[in-house]
């Protein structure tokens, strides 16, 4: 019975957790709403990493693993600063952009699958065909070029376009 009560005991006052959660929620809402205005489909690897790190930092700030909410806010601001700096550098410098963004890779050329790219990207023929069907393509012969873009999306050019 003692272990059961240990499982459900609260280590922090409920109002303290509500206040921490509220402060971090509103802070993140402001950050994502006003500072990071990107379309969901345009998330790159750096953006995904940023989201994961912010989630971890905000989780620690809400749960009280930091001594104060301010500690969490400072860490999140640091992550926001680095994310903005990397985006700015990528925008200003084609070299930085090429380093941070993988180049598009051909998956289909002139109706033929580029198996070398599929192997390198660990994509099965079934997965490729599924993505092509989602784009309204039933036969490979309809495809002039299908590219795996840097954001993971599949772009397709058909014959006759």
Q: What is the SS3 string spanning 47-109?
A: HHHHHHHHHHHHHHHHHCCCCCHHHHHHHHHHHHHHHHHHHHHHHHCHHHHHHHCCCCEEEEE
pLDDT, tens digit, for every residue of 57-88?
777 666 666 667 677 777 777 777 877 888 88
* Shared domain check, 67 and 17: yes
Within a 13 Å sphere around the CA of 33, how many CA atoms are in the beta-carbon half? 6
* Shared domain check, 13 and 67: yes
Would you tell me how many other CB atoms lie within 10 Å of the CB of residue 123? 17
* Shared domain check, 120 and 153: yes
- Residue 152's Cα: distance from chain center in Å? 10
pTM for the structure as a whole: 0.54
CATH code where residue 112 lies: 3.30.240.20
Residue 155 β-bridge partners: 147
For 116, the enclosing helix (H) or strand (E) is: helix 115-121
Domain region containing 45: 2-99
Tokens of 48: 């995904």
Query: Domain total for the chain?
Result: 2
Burial of 62 (0-12, 13-18, 19+ CB in 10 A): buried
Kindly give the parts of the chain with pLDDT less than 70. Answer: 1, 7, 10, 12, 17, 21, 29, 32-49, 60-67, 69, 161
* Shared domain check, 93 and 147: no
* Shared domain check, 109 and 77: no
* Shared domain check, 66 and 13: yes
* Shared domain check, 34 and 10: yes
Would you tell me how many other CB atoms lie within 10 Å of the CB of residue 72? 25
* Shared domain check, 91 and 76: yes
* Shared domain check, 58 and 81: yes
* Shared domain check, 94 and 75: yes
* Shared domain check, 59 and 109: no
What is the per-residue pLDDT for 152? 79
What is the per-residue pLDDT for 39? 46
Tokens of 18: 């509500």
* Shared domain check, 136 and 112: yes
């Amino acid at each position: 019975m003692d272990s059961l009560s240990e499982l459900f005991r609260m280590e922090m006052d409920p109002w303290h957790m509500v206040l921490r959660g509220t402060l971090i929620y509103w802070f993140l809402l402001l950050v994502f709403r006003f500072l990071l205005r990107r379309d969901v489909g345009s998330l790159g690897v750096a953006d995904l990493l940023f989201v994961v790190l912010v989630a971890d930092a905000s989780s620690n700030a809400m749960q009280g693993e930091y001594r104060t909410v301010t500690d969490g806010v400072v860490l999140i601001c640091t992550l926001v600063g680095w994310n903005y700096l990397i985006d700015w550098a990528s925008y200003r410098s084609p070299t930085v952009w090429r380093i941070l963004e993988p180049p598009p890779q051909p998956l289909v050329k002139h109706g033929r699958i580029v198996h070398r790219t599929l192997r390198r990207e660990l994509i099965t023929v079934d997965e490729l065909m599924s993505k092509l069907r989602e784009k309204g393509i039933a036969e490979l012969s309809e495809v002039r070029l299908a590219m795996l873009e840097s954001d993971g999306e599949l772009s397709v050019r058909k014959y006759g376009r």
